């Protein structure tokens, strides 16, 4: 019995020494404090700049280039003259139309005069007949019936002349309208001999020079000779494929940071257009970012990296990503209690960035979490925490 008591006391003394030694020999482990931060989840996609709009300029009517006012790299304004075509046959057609319109106008004038004369004849004939008819009613013996019949016949004939003159005037009016329409049509076609810029932009390519024959670009023949290529570069576009997972967070108006490596500059743009449809083959959605280019420092075709903010939260409870352990659908961290002992806690996550992650539940502000290698650590182990800032690991196991 005395031997058992002595052994028990010796065991207790050994346990006390071991605990003291564990605290003194506890490993140094890097920890970070749970703090509140402004977090944002971003999507980074590389693309190339495209002009806001780009067209190939063709001639509406066939003709020879008589005057060319632009060249490679010429900046133009909307409506500015690009080239003038020589189309003599169309010019002659306009002159013929003008002559035809003048003849039709003269025909209308003659028809009006003829109508006026016919109405005058009718007025005289009708007045004569009316007077004779009145005399016959009051003094029948003074007017022979033959005179009445003759006067009536002239009245009807004059009335028919008025109707004929009106028909002739109407026909002349219709002919004048047709002549003027033909004149306006040919004038409109001849106006296409002056090729102008459809919008503000820069000439990126010249395909024909002075003296070249430009065919009318109205057919479906893709081999038709063009005058030039025009691009609008005051605003440029970035076409990006948005992954399906990010589609709910992309909407028009979203601000975008665009970095151009070759210029070593960052520009601000915004999501201008989205297709609102996921491509079944790539599982991405077509989106376009507009980037202002007022000083024309960006050239279409340049490589760019777009950074889109998908989610953003101010004052989020955040920990470094190094503190997380993801296994089988659950996420845990090693928290350090007041006694410097490790506790394993399961956490729920929110917004994630490359170096920080939001903790929705499982931790509180100012808690300490392990950010070093967890392979040699376990729950319940006593450690000597070494606080690091901003989630940067240092020291420890």
- CATH number for the domain harbouring residue 260: 2.40.30.170
Q: Are residues 185 and 125 in the same domain?
A: yes
Ramachandran sector of residue 33 (left: φ over 0; alpha: ψ -120 to 50; beta: rest): beta
**Single residue among 280, 295, 313 that ends a domain in this structure:** 313
User: At 153, which helix (H) or strand (E)?
Assistant: helix 145-191
The answer to whether the predicted template modeling score (pTM) of the entire model surpasses 0.85 is no
| CA gap 224, 222 in Å, rounded | 6
Per-residue burial over 348-357, b if 16 or more Cβ lie within 10 Å, else e, is ebbbebeebb
d(CA 296, CA 290): 14
Q: For residues 125 and 210, state if they share a domain.
A: no
Distance CA 12, CA 156 (A): 148
- Pairing between β-strand 213-214 and β-strand 28-33 as defined by DSSP bridges: unpaired
Instruction: Report how many domains make up the chain.
Output: 4
Q: How does pLDDT run along the chain (397 residues), one tens digit per residue? A: 333 333 333 344 444 444 444 566 788 999 999 999 988 888 899 999 999 999 999 999 999 999 999 999 999 999 999 999 999 999 899 999 999 999 999 999 999 999 999 999 989 989 988 888 888 888 877 778 888 888 889 889 889 999 999 999 999 999 999 999 999 999 999 999 999 999 999 999 999 999 999 998 765 555 678 999 999 999 999 999 999 988 988 889 888 999 999 999 999 999 999 999 999 999 999 999 999 998 999 999 999 999 988 888 899 899 999 999 998 889 999 999 999 999 999 999 988 888 899 999 999 999 999 998 888 889 999 998 999 875 454 444 4
Q: Are 208 and 271 within one domain?
A: no
Q: Is 88 helix (H, G, I), strand (E, B) or coil?
A: helix
Q: Measure the CA–CA gap between 43 and 311, rounded to whole angstroms.
A: 10
Domain with 243, as residue range(s), is 43-50+232-313
Token code pair at residue 35: 């703090």
């Amino acid at each position: 019995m005395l031997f058992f008591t002595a052994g028990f006391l010796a065991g207790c003394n050994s346990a006390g020494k071991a605990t003291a030694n564990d605290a003194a020999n506890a490993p140094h482990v890097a920890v970070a404090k749970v703090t509140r931060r402004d977090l944002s989840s971003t999507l980074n996609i590389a693309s190339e700049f495209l002009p806001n709009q780009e067209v190939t300029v063709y001639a509406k009517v066939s003709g020879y280039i008589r005057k060319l006012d632009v060249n490679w790299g010429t900046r133009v304004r909307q409506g500015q003259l690009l080239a003038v075509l020589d189309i003599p046959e169309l010019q002659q057609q306009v002159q013929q139309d003008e002559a035809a319109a003048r003849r039709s106008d003269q025909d209308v004038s003659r028809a009006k005069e003829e109508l006026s004369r016919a109405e005058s004849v009718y007025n005289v004939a009708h007045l004569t007949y009316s007077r004779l008819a009145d005399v016959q009613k009051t003094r029948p013996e003074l007017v022979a019936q033959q005179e009445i019949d003759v006067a009536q016949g002239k009245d009807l004939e004059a009335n028919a002349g008025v109707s004929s003159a009106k028909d002739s005037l109407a026909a002349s009016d219709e002919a004048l309208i047709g002549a003027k329409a033909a004149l306006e049509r040919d004038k409109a076609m001849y106006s296409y001999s002056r090729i102008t810029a459809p919008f503000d932009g820069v000439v990126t390519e010249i395909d024909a020079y002075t003296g070249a024959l430009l065919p009318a670009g109205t057919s479906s023949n893709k081999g038709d000779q063009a005058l030039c290529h025009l691009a609008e570069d005051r605003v440029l576009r970035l076409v990006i494929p948005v992954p399906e997972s990010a589609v709910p967070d992309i909407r028009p108006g979203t601000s975008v940071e665009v970095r151009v490596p070759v210029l070593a500059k960052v520009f601000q743009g915004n999501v201008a257009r989205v297709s609102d449809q996921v491509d079944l083959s790539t599982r991405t959605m077509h989106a376009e970012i507009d980037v202002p280019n007022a000083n024309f420092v960006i050239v279409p075709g340049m490589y760019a990296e777009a950074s889109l903010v998908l989610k953003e939260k101010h004052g989020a409870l955040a920990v470094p990503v190094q503190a997380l352990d993801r296994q089988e659908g659950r996420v845990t961290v090693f928290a350090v209690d007041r006694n410097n002992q490790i506790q394993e806690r399961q956490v729920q996550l929110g917004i994630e960035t490359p170096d920080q992650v939001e903790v929705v539940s499982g931790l509180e502000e100012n808690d300490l979490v392990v950010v070093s290698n967890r392979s040699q650590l376990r729950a319940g182990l006593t450690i000597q925490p070494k606080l690091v800032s901003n989630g940067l690991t240092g020291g420890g196991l």
